């Protein structure tokens, strides 16, 4: 927006707090602020609300929350911080150091998360936006780590209405929205914020943007909270900041790096720019339309199922948490001068489709009576390999992120399946230890009838059909951007808080580094720092 | 610097062009500008000149330079760009696309390097700062790639005086300096530039800083060129932007991210922030003093030599180019929840010390008659393992980047050496293909007397002593920062050039991504964009 446009733009609204972005972090900030008496204006550029949780599950990971305490599940702070520090900064972690070997400024951020996650959940609960249920069956992603003293219990969901266990993401977003509306939050969709009013030194007193082509200004008396998501759908920012070859993701379409651009102009300190919440993503839907609604894969379901690369070889324990699978796909091989695992092929047989298709979000295996969708199929392994080769050449030619299969792919795949079948028959995966950790078995689900060995493995049938699904590394969303402090305040390049400017969720640079501690860590961080930002803005003494 | 300090600071100098930083990029800019009639003020914050080349070799990698053309070595542009694009953006590379599948804006940057590297060398040669010699024996780092149509000849050095082949880095820096002085460049050491005068929109008209505690202002009529190196020695920036676990480096002590901080304040577009020129670095010197003069390892010399990790296992082809070895050390293992290769131990015997110690920079093997220095030694493999274990516990305890040896390290190391010995006896490394590419054999040097098989491998002696050297991943320097265009102009967040502001070398974000094309690529880029910046400033019509 040019200066003259700014000057002529009408100030359409004034509020104590302006919240930008209608996702988990934004609603947490808006509800918290309203309950503290602040007037709140919430601006969402898209025509619909929801952000990331609107597109996924609703797990919220929160250390030492009320339901854990009520159930007598101990989650002491020292130990929880060890788990966080050990995973986010594995090469710095020092159990004997007062700050665990990590940067003390990072330690206090982890501490702030530990201290306030439960409070943020209580806030949403008291407001009526969350009917909390502890998923005490859901383990942390590294539940086996000696530093994890509370491996079960930190995951909270909102009680289901249609389904017994939990709300869908869309249902929970609706609850958040209804609560905010009931509390009197002024929510506007179709309002795109493109800049802040103010600067890093003097502080921020409002936002500028456009709605239906008309510029607007809005004044914030106590602060502006950005909760606008990452930059998965900004190809230029992905190109500049993501490590090759992360090119796609299943994030909300609003994740276009709006706040990263504003932060660049303001001169904010940046954190975590190369990090993302990763997961494999089915390639064909994103190639057809990178902005289409696509779902990252949260569990590679199936026992008679393997992942192989372009050489027809297994490269990873298929049951690892999705973020770890995504990281594994970024392996660079200087000998072949390529990313050999940038495409992985999820290969399975009829049995996996029969016993492991459940229609849940993030499980790409379709039931037998559902259309094949993007599955490639063949009655024999050579037929499957030929069909996969043909499909790749059509949708994803070499170059532009595409790969072609190695000439020995079919032979290698047959040998890989034979070796896998032997391991499954023995129940032990000597190569990758598949099925050996709590999160693997949890995500895998129960063993198929008749499999009383390793529930995560079963020999492929000797008869087709066989299926393959083409996977690329994708983001749930990026998680780098302007750095924040323990109050969610955005920091300038000298790590000084910028008055009146807050950020929470995936638009903020939080020192989780490249770790994905557990399912729901994303939403847990988002609601906690949305809550903290609102608390700080509410306590700010001088209206500005 | 506060505003009042700015106002009271005397403008101590005025020049057409101000060059900040006295390394390869800075001297290239200063000499080029002076030869075009510009007055040039060069400011170096350190008490001595030199930058990166003052601490390493003087290879300059330049496609299609004059000596290649005179020798009839073809290096056509189309092919050279394929080599660059293939390595920097391997997952995007598309041989059939007009821009090779990469971002067209990146393609023109690679083109600018190809088109101007030879001109930059000619400029230095005509000025008397370079006596170019083609190292036609030095292969590119991926000379085997089908895209490399000129695998030999692109490396240029300055003719040696004391040694027949080439100048040392320090000698070449002195030549650059003497040339610049002779041409009338006003060179000041001990002048630390901390900010620019101006902003992203209006442009830059000078610099501010301090010298011996006194603030100064200097006015630039045609431009300011930053050539201040990366941020290896700025722990906060390394922490924010480098991927774990890159914590150290052998860069010039001046590489403190000065220009990255200025760029953050100005709101520049950033590129390549997570990338660096990597190499293994001996750990003990940097632990004793992270700012001490330390040398990255440019060649793991020796045939009876292996690299093993904390488990006593080989993880990589030891003869790969140093950058690739550095990348390999960053491998994350989700199963063991660690970076298992973050410390590698270079293990060798007396024979390697006898035949492969040559006293060159970047070869860590000391001659037999030299002190052991940081070598750990033992008469037997178990003794070596015990000594290494003790040394690690002393200098680099677990936590804070340290590792301890696995309990089965000694047994595994013995088994690893036995397997290596069998491979060396056969002359073929089935595991890692060691000794199979031109660069490996070039850097390895000739076979030891009596080894007529693979010159890169020889069985370990059955008798001690044995030695080990502890290695960490390190940077030569980082290579991310404010983005530049084909004239070396710094870009703002909207990719618009900032009037009067240029950058070159490791402080600038050039789209080489994570690739290290060949030895001398660092200096080649630095002198080329220093040259381009000066040319553009000289052609700028309106003094500002």
Token code pair at residue B230:
């990366």
Q: Average pLDDT in the A388-406 region?
A: 85
pLDDT classification of A531: cutoffs 50, 70, 90: very high
The whole-angstrom distance between residue A322's C-alpha and the CA centroid of its chain comes to: 10
Tally A–B CB contacts below 8 A: 142
In A115-254, DSSP assigns E strands to 132-134, 155-158, 186-189, 192-199, 203-211, 214-226, 248-249
The shortest C-alpha distance from B9 to chain A (Å) reads 22
Report the CATH fold assignment for B280-475.
Answer: Flavocytochrome C3; Chain A, domain 1 (3.90.700)
Q: 10 Å Cβ neighbour count for A421?
A: 18
pLDDT of residue B2: 46
The closest CB to that of A101, out of B92, B317, B400, belongs to B400
pLDDT of residue A21: 98
Query: Choosing among A264, A279, A320, A324, which should be mutated to test the B contact, i.e. which has the most B CBs within 10 A?
Result: A264
Closest residue, chain B, to A339 (C-alpha): B91
| pLDDT above 70 for A132 | yes
Q: Strand pairing of A132-134 and A155-158?
A: antiparallel
Rounded to 10 deg, the angle between the A24-35 and A169-183 helix axes is 30
User: Which residues on chain A are in Cβ contact (under 8 Å) with B335?
Assistant: 317, 432-433
Token code pair at residue B34:
């002076």
pLDDT of residue A62: 98
Peptide bond into A46 cis (omega under 30): no
Token code pair at residue B257:
């991210």
Where exactly are the structural domains of chain B?
A: 4-275+479-539, 280-475
pLDDT of residue B544: 43
What spatial distance separates the first Cα and last Cα of chain A, rounded to whole Å?
23
Nearest Cα residue to B339 out of A353, A327, A97, A182 = A327
Look-up: residue for tokens 């991504």? B513
Q: 10 Å Cβ neighbour count for B103?
A: 16
Look-up: residue for tokens 């950033």? B270
Closest residue, chain B, to A95 (C-alpha): B399
Q: Region of B457 please: left (phi>0), alpha (psi -120 to 50) or beta.
A: beta
Q: Average pLDDT in the A358-372 region?
A: 89
User: Which residues on chain B are in Cβ contact (under 8 Å) with A265?
Assistant: 267, 493
The closest CB to that of B142, out of A97, A267, A337, belongs to A337
Q: A244 vs B273: CB contact, 8 Å cut-off?
A: no
pLDDT of residue A400: 64
Q: B90 vs A338: CB contact, 8 Å cut-off?
A: yes
CB A211 within 8 A of CB A192: yes
Query: Choosing among B91, B141, B274, which should be mutated to test the A contact, i.e. which has the most A CBs within 10 A?
Result: B91
Burial of B213 (0-12, 13-18, 19+ CB in 10 A): exposed
User: Which residues on chain B are in Cβ contact (under 8 Å) with A397?
Assistant: 94
Three-class secondary structure of residue B326 per DSSP: helix
| CA trace torsion B386, B390, B396, B400 (10° rounding) | 80
Q: A342 vs B91: CB contact, 8 Å cut-off?
A: yes
Q: What is the 3-state secondary structure (H, E, C) of A453-512?
A: CCCCCCCCCCCCCEEEEEEEEEEEEECCEEEECCCCEEEECCCCEEEEEEECHHHCECCC
pLDDT classification of A295: cutoffs 50, 70, 90: confident
Q: B338 vs A90: CB contact, 8 Å cut-off?
A: yes
Nearest Cα residue to A507 out of A169, A6, A25 = A25
The per-residue pLDDT for range A486-499, each reduced to its tens digit, is 999 999 999 999 99
Nearest Cα residue to B233 out of B286, B299, B291 = B291
Cα–Cα dist A320/A326, whole Å: 10
Cα–Cα dist B527/A387, whole Å: 50
What is the average pLDDT value for chain A, to the nearest integer?
A: 93
The shortest C-alpha distance from A185 to chain B (Å) reads 33
Q: 10 Å Cβ neighbour count for B534?
A: 32
Q: Domain B4-275+479-539 classified CATH 3.50.50.60?
A: yes
Closest residue, chain B, to A102 (C-alpha): B400
| pLDDT above 80 for A164 | no
Beta bridge partners of A278: A475
Residue B172 has φ and ψ, to the nearest 5°, of -65, -40
Q: B398 vs A94: CB contact, 8 Å cut-off?
A: yes
User: Which residues on chain B are in Cβ contact (under 8 Å) with A513?
Assistant: 244
Q: B337 vs A95: CB contact, 8 Å cut-off?
A: no
Q: A94 vs B339: CB contact, 8 Å cut-off?
A: no
Beta bridge partners of A209: A193, A216
Query: Choosing among B334, B344, B511, which should be mutated to test the A contact, i.e. which has the most A CBs within 10 A?
Result: B334
Q: A264 vs B261: CB contact, 8 Å cut-off?
A: no
pLDDT classification of A462: cutoffs 50, 70, 90: very high
As for the ipTM of the complex, it is 0.94
Three-class secondary structure of residue B18 per DSSP: strand
pLDDT of residue B11: 77
Burial of B226 (0-12, 13-18, 19+ CB in 10 A): buried
Q: B265 vs A268: CB contact, 8 Å cut-off?
A: no
Q: A399 vs B320: CB contact, 8 Å cut-off?
A: no
Query: Choosing among B264, B314, B317, B320, which should be mutated to test the A contact, i.e. which has the most A CBs within 10 A?
Result: B264
pLDDT of residue A49: 87
Q: Strand pairing of B11-20 and B40-44?
A: parallel
What spatial distance separates the first Cα and last Cα of chain B, rounded to whole Å?
23
User: Which residues on chain A are in Cβ contact (under 8 Å) with B145?
Assistant: 337
Query: Mean pLDDT per 10-residue run, chain B (544 residues)?
Result: 56 93 97 98 93 79 98 98 97 93 96 98 98 95 95 94 77 95 98 95 95 94 97 95 90 95 94 96 90 82 97 98 97 95 97 91 90 96 97 82 91 98 97 94 93 97 97 96 98 95 97 96 98 94 48
User: Which residues on chain A are in Cβ contact (under 8 Å) with B342?
Assistant: 91
Q: 10 Å Cβ neighbour count for B487?
A: 18
Q: Strand pairing of A155-158 and A60-61?
A: antiparallel
Q: A95 vs B273: CB contact, 8 Å cut-off?
A: no
Beta bridge partners of A214: A211
CB B44 within 8 A of CB B187: yes
CB A483 within 8 A of CB A509: yes
Rounded to 10 deg, the angle between the A381-395 and A409-426 helix axes is 130
CB B118 within 8 A of CB B147: no
Nearest Cα residue to B190 out of B216, B168, B166, B225 = B216
CB A235 within 8 A of CB A400: no
CB B379 within 8 A of CB B465: yes
The closest CB to that of A239, out of B103, B320, B335, belongs to B103
Top-confidence residue, A164 or A310: A310
The shortest C-alpha distance from A421 to chain B (Å) reads 22
The closest CB to that of B320, out of A142, A267, A334, belongs to A334
The per-residue pLDDT for range A241-267, each reduced to its tens digit, is 998 899 999 999 999 999 999 999 999
Q: B244 vs A513: CB contact, 8 Å cut-off?
A: yes
């Amino acid at each position: 927006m040019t200066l003259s446009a700014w000057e002529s733009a009408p100030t359409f609204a004034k509020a104590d707090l302006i919240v930008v972005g209608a996702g988990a972090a934004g609603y947490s900030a808006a509800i918290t602020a309203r309950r503290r008496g602040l007037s709140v204006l919430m601006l969402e550029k898209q025509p619909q609300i929801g952000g990331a949780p609107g597109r996924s599950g609703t797990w919220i990971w929160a250390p030492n929350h009320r339901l854990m305490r009520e159930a007598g599940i101990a989650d002491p702070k020292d130990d929880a911080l060890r788990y966080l520090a050990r995973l986010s900064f594995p090469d710095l972690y020092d159990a004997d150091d007062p700050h665990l070997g990590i940067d003390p400024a990072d330690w206090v951020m982890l501490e702030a998360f530990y201290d306030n996650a439960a409070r943020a959940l209580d806030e949403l609960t008291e407001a009526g936006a969350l009917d909390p249920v502890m998923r005490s069956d859901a383990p942390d992603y590294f539940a086996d780590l000696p530093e994890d003293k509370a491996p079960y219990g930190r995951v909270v969901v909102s009680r289901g209405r249609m389904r017994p266990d939990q709300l869908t993401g869309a249902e929970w977003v609706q609850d958040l929205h209804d609560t905010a509306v009931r509390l009197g939050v002024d929510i506007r969709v179709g309002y795109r914020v493109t800049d802040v009013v103010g600067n890093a030194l003097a502080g921020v007193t409002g936002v500028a943007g456009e709605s239906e082509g008309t510029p607007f200004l809005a004044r914030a008396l106590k602060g502006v909270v950005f909760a606008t998501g990452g930059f998965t759908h900004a190809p230029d920012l992905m190109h500049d900041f993501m490590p090759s070859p992360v090119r796609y993701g299943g994030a909300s379409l609003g994740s276009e790096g709006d706040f990263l651009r504003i932060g660049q102009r303001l001169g904010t300190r940046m954190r975590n720019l190369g990090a993302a919440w990763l997961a494999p993503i089915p390639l064909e839907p994103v190639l057809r339309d990178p902005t289409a609604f696509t779902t990252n894969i949260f569990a590679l379901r199936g026992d008679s199922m393997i992942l192989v690369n372009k050489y027809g070889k297994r490269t990873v324990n298929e049951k690892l948490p999705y973020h770890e699978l995504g990281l594994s796909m970024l392996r660079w091989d200087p000998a072949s001068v390529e990313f050999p695992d940038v495409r992985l092929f999820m290969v399975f047989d009829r049995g996996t489709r029969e016993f492991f298709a459940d229609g849940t979000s993030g499980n790409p295996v379709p039931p037998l009576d559902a259309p094949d969708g993007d599955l490639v199929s063949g009655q024999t392994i050579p037929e499957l390999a030929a069909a996969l080769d043909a499909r790749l050449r059509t949708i994803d030619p070499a170059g532009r992120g595409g790969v072609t299969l190695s000439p020995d792919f079919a032979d290698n795949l047959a040998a890989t399946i034979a070796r896998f079948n032997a391991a499954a028959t023995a129940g032990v995966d000597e190569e990758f230890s598949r099925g050996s950790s709590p999160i693997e078995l949890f995500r895998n689900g129960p063993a198929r009838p008749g499999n009383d060995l390793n529930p995560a493995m079963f020999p492929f049938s000797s008869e087709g059909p066989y299926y393959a699904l083409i996977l690329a590394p994708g983001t749930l969303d990026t998680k780098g951007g302007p750095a924040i402090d323990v109050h969610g305040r955005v920091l300038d390049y000298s790590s000084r808080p910028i008055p009146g400017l807050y950020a929470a969720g995936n638009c903020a640079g939080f020192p989780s580094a490249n770790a994905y501690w557990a399912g729901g860590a994303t939403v847990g961080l988002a609601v906690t720092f949305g809550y903290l930002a609102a608390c700080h803005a509410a306590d700010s003494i001088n209206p500005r």
